[in-house]
């Protein structure tokens, strides 16, 4: 029976969270259920079709997916094999034994991964980690694999898929394609990268985990030449700049770049958080090299900025002045020296003071909590200004002028 579950999961990894619900109910009761509610009706059509094929049809009730188990699946041996496959174990009789296992694992993994002791401390109370230790008999082994994945991605300079990462860090190419382990990995990377408010796709892309290295882009406007790994110089971006056009470097191209430098004098680098202001910079033929970060920058954007920093250039970051905008600026500042545009005290009181947007109570509490937790935040003074005076959208500050 084990091969039946493996076969269906291999064909459609998106089945995993639904099959986990079934396995959890079985290990709690010890009885194969005749029918079960598996959770919200899946949005992805391939997952829905795979569930219908596996269970011989399904029904929907209040937006929930309900299935009846055919006799071939409704056996103790078969459901136990599913539980074993997913690492779902019965809850300890004491009910709280998993807490001791989690605490021990955090201490032990802290010794194995000393640079992430603080991350482990933060994760100790995270729901994702609690559920892992409550439901998975191999929780510490998987936590170790996830920490290895994080360390690999922190130093990553190449495009990588979730399948590659799962195979290397967890010895299972399917382990990180979806489900609880992927969610926990994203949580860990968000904390390491200071990107808790970014989307999972942005977080993964920031560390070079992409679906396709040819569709992950860095948009740049400026008279730049780059040298590839073979020492060849490529001048085509200059031609597009002369025509008033930006270039779209793919992650595949960026990985092969060894150097990048401007041709002739430039005013510096402007990084733009949002798309419309970046278009304004291009349309006005800015004298700077302009780079679109698309919110939190992906790995291709960061590599381009790193290359520009190696060419002795600094950046002026143009973005929103709320907490997320400043955290994006700090992300940029990790690879290139950054000055803020429209976000320092000189700009805060004039001329934009009357255009500032008051923070909501939730925004204020979040900003204060962030400052309390991050005493070394690079743009702490700018965030203090925002707390006192309100915030500005990027478009309200006007384009930087050199």
Number of DSSP helices (H) and strands (E) in the chain, helices first: 19, 12
pLDDT confidence of residue 352: 57
**Reported confidence tier of residue 1, pLDDT bands at 50, 70, 90:** very low
* Secondary element (H or E) of residue 381: helix 380-389
For residue 247, is pLDDT > 60?
yes
All residues at 6 or more sequence positions from 2 whose CB lies less than 8 Å from its CB, including other chains: 81, 82, 84, 85
Lowest-pLDDT range of 80-89, 178-187, 196-205, 206-215? 80-89
Tokens 């993994």 sit at which residue? 109
For residue 343, is pLDDT > 70?
no
For residue 169, is pLDDT > 80?
yes
Peptide bond into 272 cis (omega under 30): no
For residue 19, is pLDDT > 50?
yes
pLDDT confidence of residue 98: 82
**Reported confidence tier of residue 228, pLDDT bands at 50, 70, 90:** very high
Gap between the Cα atoms of 221 and 210, Å rounded: 23
pLDDT confidence of residue 93: 46
Gap between the Cα atoms of 235 and 20, Å rounded: 53
Angstrom CA distances, 277 to 66, 77, 215, 281, 294, stand at: 48, 61, 22, 6, 11
- Characterise 268 by phi-psi region: left (phi > 0), alpha (psi -120 to 50), beta (else): left
118-166 pLDDT per residue, tens: 899 888 888 888 888 888 888 999 999 999 999 999 887 778 889 999 9
Closest listed residue to residue 135, CA positions, set 27, 5, 10: 27
Residue 222's φ and ψ, nearest 5 degrees, are 165, 160
Structure tokens at 82: 């599913």
Lowest-pLDDT range of 190-199, 254-263, 320-329? 190-199
Gap between the Cα atoms of 159 and 213, Å rounded: 6
Higher pLDDT, 80 or 167: 167
- Sequence ranges of the domains in the chain: 2-86, 97-206, 217-397
* Assigned fold of 217-397: Dna Topoisomerase Vi A Subunit; Chain: A, domain 2 (3.40.1360)
pLDDT confidence of residue 219: 97
Residue 14 DSSP label? G
Q: Are 44 and 177 in contact (CB under 8 A)?
A: no
For residue 90, is pLDDT > 70?
no
Mean pLDDT calculated for residue range 55-72: 82
Higher pLDDT, 201 or 246: 246
For residue 62, is pLDDT > 80?
no
Would you list the DSSP string of 172-226?
-TTTTSSSHHHHHHHHHHHHHTT-TTS-HHHHHHHTTB-S-TTT-EEEEES-EEE
For residue 361, is pLDDT > 60?
yes
For residue 30, is pLDDT > 90?
no
- Kindly report the number of other CB atoms within 10 A of residue 108's CB atom: 14
pLDDT confidence of residue 350: 47
pLDDT confidence of residue 96: 66
């Amino acid at each position: 029976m084990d091969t039946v579950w493996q076969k269906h999961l291999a064909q459609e990894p998106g089945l995993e969270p639904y099959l986990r619900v079934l396995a959890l109910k079985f290990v709690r009761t010890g009885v194969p259920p005749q029918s079960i509610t598996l959770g919200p009706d899946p949005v992805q059509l391939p997952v829905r079709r795979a569930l219908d094929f596996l269970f011989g049809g399904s029904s929907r009730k209040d937006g929930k997916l309900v299935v009846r188990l055919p006799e071939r699946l409704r056996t103790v041996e078969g459901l136990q094999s599913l539980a074993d496959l997913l690492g779902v174990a019965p809850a300890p009789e004491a009910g709280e034994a998993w807490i001791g296992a989690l605490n021990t694992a955090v201490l032990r993994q802290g010794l194995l991964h000393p640079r992430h002791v603080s991350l482990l401390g933060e994760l100790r109370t995270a729901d994702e980690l609690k559920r892992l230790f409550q439901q998975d008999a191999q929780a510490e082994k998987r936590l170790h694999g996830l920490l290895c994945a994080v360390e690999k991605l922190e130093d990553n300079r190449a495009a990588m898929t979730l399948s590659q990462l799962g195979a290397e860090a967890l010895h299972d190419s399917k382990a990180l394609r979806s489900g609880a382990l992927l969610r926990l990995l994203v949580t860990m990377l968000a904390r390491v990268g200071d990107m808790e408010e970014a989307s999972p796709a942005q977080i993964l892309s920031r560390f070079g985990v992409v679906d396709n290295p040819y569709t992950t882009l860095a948009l740049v406007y400026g008279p730049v030449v780059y040298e590839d790994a073979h020492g060849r110089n490529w001048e085509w971006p200059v031609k597009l700049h002369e025509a008033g056009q930006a270039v779209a470097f793919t992650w595949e191209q960026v990985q092969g770049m060894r150097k990048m430098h401007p041709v002739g004098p430039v005013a510096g680098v402007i990084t733009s958080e949002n798309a419309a202001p970046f278009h304004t910079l291009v349309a006005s033929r800015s004298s700077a090299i302009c780079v679109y970060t698309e919110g939190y920058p992906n790995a291709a954007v960061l590599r381009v900025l790193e290359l520009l920093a190696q060419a002795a250039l600094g950046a002026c970051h143009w973005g929103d002045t709320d907490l997320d905008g400043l955290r994006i600026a700090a992300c940029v500042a990790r690879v290139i020296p950054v000055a803020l545009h429209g976000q320092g005290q000189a700009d805060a009181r004039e001329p934009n003071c009357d255009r500032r947007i008051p923070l909501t109570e939730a925004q204020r509490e979040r900003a204060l909590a962030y400052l309390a937790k991050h005493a070394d935040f690079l743009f702490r003074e700018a965030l203090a200004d925002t707390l006192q005076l309100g915030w500005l959208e990027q478009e309200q500050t006007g384009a930087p002028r050199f």
